[in-house]
């Protein structure tokens, strides 16, 4: 990608982007100022180190002139000259050692501040991701979020030591040192500093390019992370379809894009460093040529010329670091904007001002003419339209319908993973948008079809919602989910480590462990979102029987494509295209002869639901 393409693809010079970048730098400086003692010590050590560094050319120049005068004097004592040089050497050594000590102090403090800022940002970033609504996570790929949380925060962290404190050193050396040089000899002083405008110009130009290319590189790294994450997450699918070469090709193409941009950045950085170094040595050559003529003319001494040359030699390293300063600043400019963009977002679903904890009385859940669209606008492809129902303690509500009809969306609305775009949802008459999220989600449990298990022991996964749960409660929960016998047969029982994403368990076992995790908390309202899809009909019947006592005093919603899972519900909703088209209990819906009857006949004909062979009579509630 050339510069013109980069500008079109990534308009980094747009006013909004520039404003965000400068705002990010300002916030980093404010965060640094929070560590006032560390920052004060670091800045003071930087100033002292720079001043000791400026003493070195003065001492060396004075020593050269003093030794030369002693040696030129008739009858001078060589021992006196050696003593003078010895004292000069000791002073130079002392200045160098003190400069090194204070440089170490300012480097340590700068690194400590940077690490502390990185620690704060990582915690704040992770905490913000926990609060962002599912709608946000639906739009943004996790690979990009991980890149921001790692590479971008690292770019912000390195700004304090890599740019801020180094800039102070450079400014002191150029201003105070330059003033002393020009006050000694104006011509030589101007020649000694003649490379500075070239460095500043090249630094400014490279800053624009580096800022633009860093954003492009970050986006390519996000793509690379996403490909790797998807490959590892779907490694069984990759192996099953022998798609290794295809995956390697995708990864190679993304890696190639990333390294092309990385090499572009290397080219920019080192070409500018070469120009800076060339201008520096050109200036040094001019100082040596002009200073030599002045020595011949007797207007300056050899020690004065030595002082100028040593001063320029001292400037060499800071000059080379201008590229680092520019690079660190450009990286912080872009990375900080990307990090703070996430930190400044307000979750779409959050506690309203004045929200109060949910006050549970009867535990009655009610949907009142609820509409929902994932775009946030009920007029934009609504997923649900005019959904109304009520379910209370001891009652079971079944929901069935074709894929994509909105069944799982209903389950996601109850704990406020999303907010409805129309109508309202209440628990005991309280709009769930007016209560705190923590209290709502303590009262509502959702068992999903797609289970996620952490890389931890079995008991830790079961007790994830209540880490203080004792073993008896854990065992009772797994017995209800018909999983205890299997766990008891494992080599380490409940201490057995569950592999990443629960791959050491079968699909049905993972679902049962997820059920145990939810029933452990005994929420007032519990929703089973196709949570027994991977469980055989016999085991499902055992689970339902075991959960009967646990759900006796709780509102229960069962979402399933398998009719035997919900045929005993007190009321069944058949949803299609986001609307309730049929409702009633099992026998009444069969008698209606509509869409529910069609699904029942199909499952009976093709044997998709072995549980339908059992009696279809509706038992008493509970």
Residue listed under structure tokens 């990443």: 500
- CATH no. for 19-343: 1.20.1560.10
pLDDT for the residue numbered 149: 86
- Helical spans, DSSP H, in 367-470: 407-413, 437-443, 458-462
CA 165 – CA 167 distance, rounded (Å) = 5
Around Cβ 274, how many Cβ atoms within 10 Å?
A: 12
C-beta separation of 505 from 498 below 8 A: yes
User: Do the beta carbons of residue 312 and residue 280 sit within 8 Å?
Assistant: yes
Q: How far apart are CA 265 and CA 212, in angstroms?
A: 10
Question: 10-residue block means of pLDDT along the chain (622 residues)?
Answer: 41 55 82 88 90 85 75 62 74 86 90 91 90 81 81 86 81 84 88 83 74 78 82 77 82 87 84 82 89 87 87 78 75 86 87 90 92 70 90 92 89 92 94 93 84 82 85 87 84 80 68 82 85 67 70 86 84 93 92 90 72 48 36
Q: For residue 611, what is the DSSP state?
A: G
Q: Answer yes or no: are the C-beta atoms of 439 and 521 closer than 8 Å.
A: no
The answer to whether 62 and 303 have CB atoms below 8 angstroms apart is yes
- Closest by alpha carbon to 511, among 497, 530, 527? 530
Q: Are 370 and 387 in contact (CB under 8 A)?
A: yes
Domain covering 365-609, topology: Rossmann fold (3.40.50)
Helix spans in 132-240 (H): 134-139, 142-147, 153-159, 165-172, 178-184, 186-192, 195-233, 235-240
**pLDDT given at position 8:** 42
Tell me if domain 19-343 and domain 365-609 are identical in fold: no
Domain limits, the chain? 19-343, 365-609
For 394, other C-beta atoms within 10 Å of its C-beta total 16
pLDDT in the model for residue 17: 60
- Closest to 326 measured CA to CA, from 164, 118, 140, 551: 164
> SS3 for 609?
coil
Give residue 248's pLDDT: 87
- What pLDDT does 431 receive? 94
Rounded to the nearest 10 degrees, how much is the dihedral formed by the CA atoms of 554, 560, 565, 571? 60
> In the prediction, which pLDDT does 314 show?
83
CB contact set of 442 (below 8 Å; sequence gap of 6+): 358, 521, 523
| pLDDT for res 544 | 73
C-beta separation of 312 from 246 below 8 A: no
Task: Give the per-residue pLDDT at 168.
Answer: 85
Q: How far apart are CA 311 and CA 183, in angstroms?
A: 14
Give the three-state DSSP class for 468: coil
């Amino acid at each position: 990608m050339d510069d013109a393409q980069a500008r079109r693809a990534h308009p980094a010079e747009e006013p909004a982007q520039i404003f965000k970048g400068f705002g990010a730098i300002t916030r980093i400086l404010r965060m640094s100022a929070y560590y006032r003692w560390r920052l004060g010590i670091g800045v003071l050590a930087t100033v002292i180190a720079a001043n000791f560094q400026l003493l070195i050319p003065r001492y060396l120049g004075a020593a050269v002139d003093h030794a030369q005068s002693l040696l030129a004097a008739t009858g001078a004592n060589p021992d006196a000259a050696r003593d003078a040089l010895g004292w000069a050497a000791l002073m130079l050594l002392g200045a160098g050692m003190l400069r090194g000590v204070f440089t170490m102090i300012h480097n340590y403090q700068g690194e400590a501040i940077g690490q502390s800022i990185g620690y704060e940002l990582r915690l704040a970033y992770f905490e913000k991701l926990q609060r962002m609504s599912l709608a946000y996570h639906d739009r943004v790929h996790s690979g990009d979020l991980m890149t921001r949380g790692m590479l971008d925060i690292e770019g912000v962290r390195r700004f304090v030591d890599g740019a801020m404190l180094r800039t102070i050193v450079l400014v002191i050396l150029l201003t105070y040192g330059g003033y002393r040089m020009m006050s000694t000899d104006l011509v030589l002083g101007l020649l000694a500093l003649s490379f500075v405008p070239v460095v500043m110009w090249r630094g400014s130009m490279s800053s624009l390019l580096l800022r633009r290319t860093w954003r492009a590189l970050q986006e390519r790294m996000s793509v690379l992370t996403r490909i790797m994450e998807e490959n590892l997450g779907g490694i069984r699918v990759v192996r099953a379809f022998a798609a290794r070469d295809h995956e390697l090709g995708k990864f190679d193409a993304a890696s190639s894009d990333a390294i092309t941009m990385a090499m572009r950045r290397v080219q920019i950085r080192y070409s500018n460093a070469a120009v800076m170094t060339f201008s520096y040595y050109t200036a040094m050559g001019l100082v040596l040529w002009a200073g030599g003529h002045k020595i011949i003319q007797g207007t300056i001494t050899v020690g004065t010329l030595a002082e100028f040359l040593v001063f320029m030699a001292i400037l060499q390293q800071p000059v080379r670091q201008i590229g680092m300063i520019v690079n660190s600043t450009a990286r912080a400019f872009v990375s900080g904007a990307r990090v703070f963009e996430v930190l400044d977002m307000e979750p779409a679903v959050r506690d309203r001002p004045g929200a109060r904890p949910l006050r549970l009385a009867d535990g009655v859940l009610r949907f009142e003419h609820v509409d929902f669209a994932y775009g946030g606008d009920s007029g934009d492809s609504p997923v649900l339209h005019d959904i109304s129902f009520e379910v209370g303690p001891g009652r079971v509500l079944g929901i069935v319908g074709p894929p994509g009809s909105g069944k799982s969306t209903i389950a996601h609305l109850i704990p406020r993973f999303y907010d409805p775009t129309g109508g309202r949802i209440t628990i005991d008459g309280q709009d769930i948008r007016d209560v705190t999220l923590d209290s709502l989600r303590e009262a509502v449990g959702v068992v999903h079809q797609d289970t996620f298990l952490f890389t931890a022991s079995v008991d830790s996964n079961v007790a994830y919602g209540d880490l203080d749960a004792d073993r008896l409660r854990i065992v009772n929960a797994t017995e209800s989910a018909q999983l205890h016998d299997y766990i008891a047969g494992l080599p380490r029982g409940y201490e057995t480590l569950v592999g990443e994403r629960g791959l050491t368990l079968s699909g049905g076992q993972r679902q049962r462990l997820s059920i145990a995790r939810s029933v452990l908390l005994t929420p007032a309202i519990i929703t089973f979102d196709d949570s027994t899809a991977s469980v055989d009909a016999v085991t499902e019947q055992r689970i339902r029987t075991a959960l009967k006592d646990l759900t006796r005093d709780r509102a229960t919603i069962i979402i399933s494509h398998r009719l035997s899972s919900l045929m005993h519900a007190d009321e069944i909703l058949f949803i299609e295209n986001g609307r309730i088209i049929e409702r009633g209990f099992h026998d009444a819906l069969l008698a209606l002869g509509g869409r529910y009857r069609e699904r029942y006949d199909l499952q009976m004909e093709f044997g998709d639901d072995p549980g339908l062979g059992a009696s279809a009579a509706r038992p008493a509630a509970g």
